[in-house]
Structure 1
């Protein structure tokens, strides 16, 4: 099955959109049901060319009784039932409609609830990133899935940002490139030390992370992460060499491609267009996963062993964390594990026969739209890996995900059909062949609403060359 990704506003108000999408040669459309803020081109729409989406929104009718503390916002730039209108139009031409569901990436709810967001080792909040260590966030995600399946009645459910977002997030007028932080720094800045996370790590983790980022060797306790005073400063992305929008690594104001993946040798693989959303470290060996045991610690303890010393530039997150690596990694992965298991259970209870697709990354340090999945997930029907960077590096990531899959589980390649990729059917078809050899059995094409007529023609031509 091949899937084209679109927004509700690409369909609503454009009677020709369903036939145009069906003409691409895809069997299904991933239609955004819950999505973050963005600024989108609409080159094919008869009524507009640019649409500003100033805050994250839910594109189904909001039933107040269905929500608890966290309630999604309704859009003002589309009808409140835009998903339903678009769904019906797409199904009328024979296309399946899968609900593209963005979970923890929500700047509207994060800004309004700063106690529920990811905070780095310095206490800086990431307002776009709801932390799934909080019960209120878990409950919100469960209700989001339940409402989409109940009201939206999709043919499939696509879960994106099914775990904590991290440091890499291109925001409005991004101003972080001058810090010269490395991909490892981005991984370290993605570790959450909010009130629900900090005490889960072993003692001295926070100091070690700070020291590694600042290239220092702390000997004195550091102040605890603030819990009552919330900074209004939002640190977002690392330097990006490409500016293609991605939906939170798959369609948002997040920068383009995750071009770093674990290589067979377990070293850092750097693609030609490494960007801010990269989780650049790798792990050697199989991580311990699934544990949700709270690790007691004394936050702010001093340490000397295995710390980053002045002028040291850690190559990997494992080198930065030293003997704390296994415990920190287990805590990190457990956040995504817990959320994923709860959402799959809710989905199976609500709509038992609706297939579930996960946007996933085999890298245990991954943060963002493609959540860490180092041990696989037999409860899902499809595992999709990001393929926005160097095709060889993308293929390595796909092969790793394939190795983690169960018999009958499908592997999807999330393929970029926007710049910096050329509008060339032959080039795109060659990339599809590379991904198929790595284990992809279906292609998820980003993005049929943002693509020019020339790019839509390239998508259709590539799919004909690689049916």
Structure 2
């Protein structure tokens, strides 16, 4: 049976009594609800009190300052400080499971306040939205983040995003980088971190080769680095692997879903993973063309340990159109779960498309598939 997960923000639910039932009628099993999140300007098409939310990086369970070390997350002022807890309670009352969607190293508030802990490329440019997990203070923050969400949020599971080093790819702050026409290889090279901890770990000459590879449009990272590529690749891979393992230990036995990428140079929301990664579910980004999504799914399946599930993250927002045919292709490629982004941002017609497409997956544990599930206020 294919599990069905829909994504939402806590402010989609808090203050909107109709939201839990609206999400339940989509036919999903589970809501991946943001427990920590980066900055965003989000539409709220159905909320009775507003139509837009301007959110900054924040934690949506209470921030107990005594629990944190050097890095302390911000509490939201645009919604309740315990918005995750309130929203989760309302969603469970509607019969839905709730997983804590946790953004790990993507935090412009903390990266700006602590620039020495942010990723820095080979040219010396800092990425203030990207905390580098080579720093012990960053790892301590990430471990505390998961521990606090598990304890205070009491979720049914964790969904970890940006669980590893981030790179140059970033959608935010009026992004104006597309005109440079950087190739995927150039973007990967610009994503290698040369902060005070990372730089000394690389072999001599790595920085110079990276800079030359960017400026000469090297066809691949391997071509730019030459004989240094295996060492650099392993050093980068260890950052994500060690962080993922550490956070699995902090999950207090909760099921862990990891937004993952089989690409050995991946540095983004879907983090690079190695063989037998520390997660119960590996979710691939299937937001672009189906062929690329299928390749990522198959790559994750090849890396997954026996018993590990693989999921496809699909886009229900512009420019994508969610169709049963696309989901069938992903299921045929090995997807055990479908993760739909994003129910809170979707219009009425897009919600109808989500519901229709999830219904095409057949019987599950969502409300449309199990009409006998009791729902408050619904006969």
TM beyond 0.5: yes
Contact 1:33–1:60 under 8 Å retained in 2: yes
Deviation at 1:402, TM superposition (A): 1.1
Corresponding residue number in structure 2 for 1:64:
65
| SS of residue in 1 equivalent to 2:339 | strand
Deviation at 1:341, TM superposition (A): 1.0
| SS of residue in 2 equivalent to 1:2 | strand
TM-score, length basis structure 1? 0.76
Q: Structure 2: how far apart are the matches of 1:406 and 1:114?
A: 37
Q: Structure 2: how far apart are the matches of 1:117 and 1:402?
A: 32
Once the two structures are superposed, what CA deviation does each residue of 1:29-70 show, in whole Å capped at 9, x if it has no partner? 0000000000101112122111111x2000111111110100
Deviation at 1:314, TM superposition (A): 1.7
Deviation at 1:173, TM superposition (A): 1.9
Match of 1:373 among 242, 261, 273: 273
Structure 2, unaligned stretches of length 5 or more? 363-379
Is 1:143 matched up with 2:144?
Answer: yes
Corresponding residue number in structure 2 for 1:436:
331
Q: Structure 2: how far apart are the matches of 1:357 and 1:341?
A: 12
Is 1:460 matched up with 2:364?
Answer: no
Contact 1:59–1:74 under 8 Å retained in 2: yes
Corresponding residue number in structure 2 for 1:114:
115
Corresponding residue number in structure 1 for 2:29:
27
Which structure features the higher share of helix residues?
Answer: 2
Deviation at 1:146, TM superposition (A): 0.3
Deviation at 1:180, TM superposition (A): 2.6
- Aligned ranges 1:153-192 → 2 under 5 Å: 153-192=154-193
Once the two structures are superposed, what CA deviation does each residue of 1:173-217 show, in whole Å capped at 9, x if it has no partner? 2222332321111000000000010011111000111111122xx
Is 1:193 matched up with 2:194?
Answer: yes
Match of 1:385 among 284, 304, 308: 284
Match of 2:239 among 335, 339, 342: 335
Q: Structure 2: how far apart are the matches of 1:406 and 1:83?
A: 31
Contact 1:361–1:372 under 8 Å retained in 2: yes
Q: Structure 2: how far apart are the matches of 1:458 and 1:171?
A: 28
Corresponding residue number in structure 2 for 1:397:
296
Corresponding residue number in structure 1 for 2:373:
none
Contact 1:362–1:375 under 8 Å retained in 2: no
Q: Structure 1: how far apart are the matches of 2:136 and 2:101?
A: 23
| SS of residue in 2 equivalent to 1:192 | coil
Contact 1:56–1:73 under 8 Å retained in 2: yes
Once the two structures are superposed, what CA deviation does each residue of 1:256-309 show, in whole Å capped at 9, x if it has no partner? xxxxxxxxxxxxxxxxxxxxxxxxxxxxxxxxxxxxxxxxxxxxxxxxxxxxxx
Q: Structure 1: how far apart are the matches of 2:306 and 2:337?
A: 15
Deviation at 1:357, TM superposition (A): 0.5
Corresponding residue number in structure 2 for 1:318:
222
Contact 1:166–1:190 under 8 Å retained in 2: yes
Once the two structures are superposed, what CA deviation does each residue of 1:129-149 show, in whole Å capped at 9, x if it has no partner? 000000000000000000000
Q: Structure 2: how far apart are the matches of 1:209 and 1:90?
A: 48
Deviation at 1:411, TM superposition (A): 0.7
Once the two structures are superposed, what CA deviation does each residue of 1:310-344 show, in whole Å capped at 9, x if it has no partner? xxx32111111111110110111011011111111
Corresponding residue number in structure 1 for 2:212:
211
Residues paired across the two proteins, number: 360
TM-score, length basis structure 2? 0.93
Q: Structure 1: how far apart are the matches of 2:199 and 2:34?
A: 33
Once the two structures are superposed, what CA deviation does each residue of 1:69-128 show, in whole Å capped at 9, x if it has no partner? 000000010010111110100000110000000000000000000010000001110000
Q: Structure 2: how far apart are the matches of 1:180 and 1:83?
A: 40
Q: Structure 2: how far apart are the matches of 1:416 and 1:172?
A: 22
Corresponding residue number in structure 2 for 1:126:
127
Stretch moving more, 427-436 or 444-453: 427-436
Is 1:415 matched up with 2:314?
Answer: yes
Contact 1:363–1:374 under 8 Å retained in 2: no
Q: Structure 1: how far apart are the matches of 2:331 and 2:177?
A: 36
Corresponding residue number in structure 2 for 1:286:
none
Q: Structure 2: how far apart are the matches of 1:394 and 1:320?
A: 26
